[in-house]
């Protein structure tokens, strides 16, 4: 399974778990990144994704907003029926699914997320806890902002927050979509002051989310696709890194690295990371020792000292 499809399945599962009503296919194609091409292509992708989720033991309900009328069928996942029964996983797939379960456990879907972690732990052995159980800092993928963001999205309510870009400023947004893309969370919506679409990296939001006005304040345009806005982002520069990691640890990082054994305790990894390199390095705690570049080593040391 490709990384892109894994991310799309995570986004689809989260969207169907978060909704309190049935989502139509049109709404899913708007809100979930990864569905692209013609309508027929999107529908084929969605049918395959539904089959894949059901093979994982995830029950998808099909229904309508009003059973008395011939509405378009919609889809949702009930937390009470959430199950997970998966077979062999690659390190990357295990990492993505573990990340999703951690988010659900800590933020939105506590009981189903805890169940998913237990099942993933049994399947993945020590890999799950080594890569996702020892984070020492609050990282981008465990942001406390998710409940407020999901709530505003599902209730079509405007929000405001402080955002750090070239300058730090307060943004007033109609949120249209929230998605995981290339390992990073993004919020897409209409900037109410500029009257333009904008994409925001969630980790750069530096304040609480303030929900403003009434629910149902806006309607997401029919032609909105979060994917179209994400692919227009400028690619992040990649920096080469060298680090020592403990033997048998940091599996998700190993999957994208050149690995050389040093001794019985340590391996040396060579890899590249984008702008979120701090979060990725710090994620593994004491299981990783960054060796180069020297300026990044200095920054990590200073950051760790500031947390003491």
CA distance 41 to 35: 8
Tell me if the pTM is above 0.85.
no
Q: What's the pLDDT tens digit per position in 116-145?
A: 444 444 444 444 444 443 333 333 444 578
| Average pLDDT of span 239-250 | 91
**What's the pLDDT score for residue 170?**
95
User: Cis link prior to 3 (omega < 30° from 0)?
Assistant: no
pLDDT digits (tens, 9 = 90+) for 222-235: 888 887 888 777 66
Q: Is the pLDDT of residue 210 over 90?
A: yes
Q: Is 85 helix (H, G, I), strand (E, B) or coil?
A: coil
Of 289, 242, 283, the residue nearest 95 (C-alpha): 283
> What are the structure tokens assigned to 225, written together?
């696709």
Q: Binning pLDDT at 50, 70 and 90, where does residue 182 land?
A: low
- Residue 245's pLDDT band (cuts 50, 70, 90): very high
Q: What angle do CA 4, 41, 43 make, to 5 degrees?
A: 90
pLDDT of 228? 80
Contact at 8 Å (CB) between 191 and 229?
Answer: no
Condensed to tens digits (0 to 9), the pLDDT of residues 291-307 reads: 999 999 998 888 878 76
Tokens of 264: 């019985």
């Amino acid at each position: 399974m490709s990384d892109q499809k894994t991310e799309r399945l995570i986004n689809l599962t989260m969207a169907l778990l978060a909704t309190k009503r049935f989502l139509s296919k049109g709404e899913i194609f708007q809100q979930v990144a990864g569905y692209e091409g013609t309508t027929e292509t999107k529908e084929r992708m969605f049918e395959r994704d539904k089959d894949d989720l059901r093979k994982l033991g995830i029950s998808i309900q099909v229904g309508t907003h009003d059973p008395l009328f011939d509405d378009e069928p919609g889809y949702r996942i009930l937390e009470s029926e959430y199950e997970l029964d998966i077979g062999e996983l690659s390190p990357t797939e295990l990492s993505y699914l573990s990340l999703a379960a951690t988010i659900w456990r800590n933020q939105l879907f506590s009981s189903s997320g805890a169940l998913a972690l237990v099942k993933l732990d049994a399947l993945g052995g020590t890999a799950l806890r080594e890569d996702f159980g020892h984070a020492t800092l609050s990282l981008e993928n465990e942001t406390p902002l998710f409940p407020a963001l999901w709530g505003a999205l599902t209730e079509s309510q405007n929000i405001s927050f402080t955002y750090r870009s070239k300058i730090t400023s307060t943004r007033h947004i109609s949120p249209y979509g929230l998605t995981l893309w290339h390992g990073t969370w993004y919020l897409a919506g209409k900037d109410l002051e500029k009257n333009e679409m904008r994409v925001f990296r969630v980790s750069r939001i530096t304040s609480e989310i303030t929900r403003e006005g009434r629910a149902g304040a806006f309607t997401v345009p029919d032609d909105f696709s979060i994917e179209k806005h994400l692919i227009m982002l400028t690619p992040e520069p990649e920096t080469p890194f060298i680090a020592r990691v403990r033997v048998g640890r940091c599996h998700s990082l190993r999957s994208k690295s050149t690995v050389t054994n040093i001794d019985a305790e340590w391996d040396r990894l060579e890899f590249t990371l984008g702008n979120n390199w701090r979060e990725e390095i710090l994620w593994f705690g004491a299981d990783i020792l960054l060796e180069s570049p020297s300026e990044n080593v200095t920054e990590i040391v200073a950051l760790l000292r500031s947390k003491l």
